Amino acid sequence: MQERILIAGAGPVGLVAAAHLARSGVPVTVFEGGSTLSEESRASTFHPPTLDMLHALGAAEPLSAQGLKAPTFQYRSKKHGLLAQFDFGGITDVTEHPYRVQCEQSKLTRILYDQMRGHPNFEVHFDSPVVGVTQDASGVVTLTSALGY
């Protein structure tokens, strides 16, 4: 069996890590407990440094196209109204994405999955929850799933 990096979960973090590794020549297998990519969204804000990282994967632009760009960030209260405002235009010298994007995480996972599907170093197994982790004396970690890895 070919040595691979095994990742538990095909959420945003798992698929971003898998995409970086696979595109760097490292074979990756992602085990996802669900039968498909999750529709659940636990967060929806992508900040400039994250967008810069996703740009390197070719995912920032399709994500931005599906979300709402926010070029400013405001703090408000019911009692006092606008308390402070940050204009992301002030950081254009340090980011290619001087804005935040409001978009569901599930859209990012689909973008990454669609881009990586068929890549020779990338595979995903659905309906394959990770059920155990062991380590032998040499330090090699073995993940165990329904597939028996």
> pLDDT tens, 77-106?
999 999 999 999 999 999 999 999 999 999
Query: Is residue 149 pLDDT above 80, yes or no?
Result: no
Distances (CA, A) of 90 to 17, 86, 87, 103: 30, 8, 6, 23
- On whether the CB atoms of residues 10 and 106 are closer than 8 A, the answer is no
Could you tell me if 149 and 113 lie in one domain?
Answer: yes
**Domain coverage including residue 144:** 1-38+105-149
pLDDT of amino acid 1: 52
Could you tell me if 117 and 147 lie in one domain?
Answer: yes
Q: How many domains does the chain have?
A: 2
Could you tell me if 95 and 49 lie in one domain?
Answer: yes
Could you tell me if 114 and 144 lie in one domain?
Answer: yes
Could you tell me if 115 and 146 lie in one domain?
Answer: yes
**What CATH number is associated with residue 8?**
3.50.50.60
Could you tell me if 118 and 94 lie in one domain?
Answer: no
Could you tell me if 87 and 122 lie in one domain?
Answer: no
Residues 6+ apart with CB under 8 A from 17: 7, 28
- pTM of the complete model: 0.87
Could you tell me if 58 and 91 lie in one domain?
Answer: yes
Q: What is the mean pLDDT of residues 60-72?
A: 97
Could you tell me if 99 and 111 lie in one domain?
Answer: no
Query: How confident is the model over 99-124, as pLDDT tens digits?
Result: 999 999 999 999 999 999 999 999 99
Report how far residue 95's alpha carbon sits from residue 148's, in angstroms, rounded to the nearest whole number. Answer: 44
Query: Is residue 15 pLDDT above 80, yes or no?
Result: yes
Report how far residue 44's alpha carbon sits from residue 60's, in angstroms, rounded to the nearest whole number. Answer: 14
Could you tell me if 68 and 99 lie in one domain?
Answer: yes
Helix (H) / strand (E) containing 137? none
Q: Is 132 helix (H, G, I), strand (E, B) or coil?
A: strand
Could you tell me if 84 and 52 lie in one domain?
Answer: yes
